[in-house]
Amino acid sequence: MVVKQQPRYVFGVLNLKTDAGYEIHFLNIPDLSAKGVTYAETLYYAYRVLSHFLEPFKEDAAQILQYTFRELPIFKKDKNSFLTLITVTHDLDPHKMEMTFLLPQTRASELADEADQVGRLIRFLPNRSTSDQA
């Protein structure tokens, strides 16, 4: 059975693993990003900053649609980056946002390796100095 739901807004995201943790950059919203130490923390911040950014346009769907994922800007993907989509309900509630991982087109036999690489990236824990662990 298919449950009919209101369509969601979709935002393209570039995720980067850095030496200090993670960065999430919104592909169609210049200068909007989130940073954190763990991937879960960074994703939480990304949902919050996206919701805050969109809030002034809450009653103007056309304005929000201008920022949704329509085209993929040119960027250099490497072993420490991956693409995702964030879907957003029309009430812009960050607690209802969802992340979907995008895997590059590849042979079926290599798909598990691509998924494993993303899995390793999001489980990464940066090195912390002993003063940070106190």
User: Could you state, in order of their start, the residue ranges of all structural domains in the chain?
Assistant: 9-122
Positive/negative CA dihedral, 94, 116, 14, 33: positive
Predicted pLDDT at 79: 81
pLDDT at position 132 over 60: no
Please give the Cα distance from 121 to 16 (Å, whole number).
9
Average pLDDT, the chain: 82
Handedness of CA 79, 45, 126, 30 (dihedral sign): positive
Tokens read off for 88: 């957003």
How many beta carbons lie within 10 A of that of residue 122, not counting itself? 16
Per-residue pLDDT, averaged over 100-105, amounts to 71
pLDDT digits (tens, 9 = 90+) for 59-76: 999 999 999 988 776 666
**What pLDDT is recorded for position 74?**
67
pLDDT digits (tens, 9 = 90+) for 1-40: 566 677 799 999 999 999 889 999 999 998 999 999 999 9
Decide: pTM greater than 0.75: yes
- Residue 28: which of 9, 55, 7 has the closest Cα? 9
Indicate if the pLDDT at residue 108 is higher than 70.
Answer: no
